[in-house]
């Protein structure tokens, strides 16, 4: 347990530093306030000249105290650690890291990607950098609005404020950065290895099942189904495969039953034998 905790704090540290670097090298110097406390702090920086990191800390600490008071200590020391690390990291790195581009489109793409990479590492290590996550959970508690919708509302307000203070074009770039940040977070947490989930409905399900097991060496789960029109009972085969195996599976099913009904969908993360067997230890 102690080894895992050290491992988590290591990646929270790395993730917070990467996030700070993305803000310093791309977003802040280009006035891109892509939502959240860092976005609000960027607006305040350009209005009053106050350091972004210290403003973020000044906003986050009261939010953390209110969050602990209203919702208990579930935020924990990792949240406080992430808040301090990101806030100080922004101001400490600012004099030393170069601004890599003054093109707002490039800044929003790369800034969003780098920041999302860092935040993804923090979240994957069961940490957080505070900010609007705390506000969203408080809004959820007192109003019943979901955390996801609350985050969208908060980020929209921050970006709208940036549009008023700077201009509408900068706000549009901020939306791009926000979307890329979210996508980067998902990639880090879910991974790039997207598998395929297949559902197969056929009158020859037993033969298809045997062939998948023997020829593709993949497991199959049998689900009990019933036709909505015919009301006949049928077995539905569920099989998880890699992207490279999609053609093999379609060919295998087609050779057995040309009229089989096959659904293929993306599966972002598969845990267990034959796939990500170490994920439960993370």
Could you give the domains of the chain?
A: 2-190 (no CATH), 195-281 (3.30.70.120)
Give the closest residue to 134 by CA, choosing from 36, 23, 39, 41.
Answer: 36
Q: Please compute the mean of the pLDDT values over residues 218-228 and round it to a whole number.
A: 88
Q: What is the 3-state secondary structure (H, E, C) of the chain?
A: CHHHHHHHHHHHHHHHHHHHHHHHHHHHHHCCCCCHHHHHHHHHHHHHCCCHHHHHHHHHHHHHHHHHHHHCHHHHHHHHHHHHHHHHHHHHHCCCCCCCCCCHHHHHHHHHHHHHHHHHHHHHCCCCCCCHHHHHHHHHHHHCCCHHHHHHHHHHHHHHHHHHHCCHHHHHHHHHHHHHHHHHHHHHHHCCCCEEEEEEECCCHHHHHHHHHHHHCCCCEEEEEECCCCCCEEEEEEEEECHHHHHHHHHHHHHHCCCCEEEEEEECCCECCCCECCHHHC
List all residues 6 or more positions away from 205 whose beta carbon is below 8 Å from its beta carbon: 222, 234, 235, 236, 237
Can you give the pLDDT at residue 71? Answer: 66
Q: For residue 86, is pLDDT > 70?
A: yes
Can you give the pLDDT at residue 77? Answer: 84
Q: For residue 279, is pLDDT > 60?
A: no
Q: For residue 270, is pLDDT > 50?
A: yes
Q: Please compute the mean of the pLDDT values over residues 122-133 and round it to a whole number.
A: 81
Instruction: Report residue 272's pLDDT band, with 50, 70 and 90 as the boundaries.
Output: low
Can you give the pLDDT at residue 147? Answer: 62
Q: For residue 260, is pLDDT > 50?
A: yes
Q: What digits encode the pLDDT tens for the residues 170-200?
A: 999 999 999 999 888 888 877 666 688 999 9
The answer to which of 114-118, 133-137, 263-267 has the lowest mean pLDDT is 133-137
On the CB side of 157, how many CA atoms lie within 13 Å of its CA? 12
The answer to which of 31-45, 50-64, 73-87 has the lowest mean pLDDT is 73-87
Q: Please compute the mean of the pLDDT values over residues 55-69 and round it to a whole number.
A: 87
Instruction: Report residue 280's pLDDT band, with 50, 70 and 90 as the boundaries.
Output: very low
Q: How far is CA 169 from the centre of its chain?
A: 26
The answer to which of 26-30, 66-70, 105-109, 241-245 has the lowest mean pLDDT is 66-70
In the chain, how long is the greatest CA-to-CA distance? 72
Cα–Cα distance for residue pair 231/185, rounded to 1 Å: 44
Q: What digits encode the pLDDT tens for the residues 130-170?
A: 777 777 777 777 787 776 677 788 889 999 999 999 999 99
Can you give the pLDDT at residue 148? Answer: 61
Tokens coding 62:
């009261």
The answer to which of 56-65, 115-124, 273-282 has the lowest mean pLDDT is 273-282
Q: For residue 128, is pLDDT > 50?
A: yes
Can you give the pLDDT at residue 1? Answer: 66
Tokens coding 244:
């490279």
Give the closest residue to 256 by CA, choosing from 203, 213, 214, 215.
Answer: 203
Can you give the pLDDT at residue 192? Answer: 66
Give the closest residue to 10 by CA, choosing from 97, 83, 81, 94.
Answer: 81
Q: What percent of the chain has pLDDT over 90?
A: 55
Q: Please compute the mean of the pLDDT values over residues 231-244 and round it to a whole number.
A: 87
Q: For residue 75, is pLDDT > 70?
A: no
Can you give the pLDDT at residue 140? Answer: 74
Q: For residue 277, is pLDDT > 60?
A: no
Can you give the pLDDT at residue 26? Answer: 97
């Amino acid at each position: 347990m102690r080894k895992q905790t050290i491992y988590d704090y290591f990646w929270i540290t790395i993730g917070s530093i990467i996030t700070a670097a993305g803000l310093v090298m791309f977003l802040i110097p280009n006035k891109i306030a892509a939502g959240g406390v860092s976005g609000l702090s960027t607006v305040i920086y350009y209005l009053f000249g106050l350091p972004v990191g210290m403003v973020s800390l000044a906003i986050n600490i009261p939010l953390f105290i209110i969050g602990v008071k209203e919702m208990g200590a579930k935020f924990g020391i990792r949240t406080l650690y992430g808040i301090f690390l990101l806030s100080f990291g922004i101001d400490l790195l600012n004099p030393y890291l170069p601004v890599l581009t003054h093109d707002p489109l490039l800044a929003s793409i790369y800034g969003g990607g780098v920041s999302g990479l860092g935040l993804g590492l923090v979240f994957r290590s069961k940490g957080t950098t505070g900010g609007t996550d705390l506000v969203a959970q408080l809004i959820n508690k007192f109003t019943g609005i979901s955390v996801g919708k609350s985050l969208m509302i908060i980020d929209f307000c921050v970006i709208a404020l940036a549009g008023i203070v700077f201009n509408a074009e900068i706000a549009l770039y901020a939306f791009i950065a926000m979307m890329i940040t979210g996508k980067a977070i998902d990639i880090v947490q879910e991974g790039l290895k997207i598998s395929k989930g297949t559902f197969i409905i056929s009158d020859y399900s037993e033969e298809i099942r045997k062939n998948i097991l023997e020829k593709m060496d993949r497991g199959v789960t049998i689900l009990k189904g019933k036709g909505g029109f015919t009301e006949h009972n049928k077995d539905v085969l569920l099989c998880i495969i890699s992207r490279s195996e999609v053609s093999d599976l379609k060919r295998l099913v087609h050779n057995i039953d040309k009229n089989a009904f096959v659904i293929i969908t993306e599966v972002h993360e598969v845990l267990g034998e034959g796939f990500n067997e170490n994920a439960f230890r993370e």
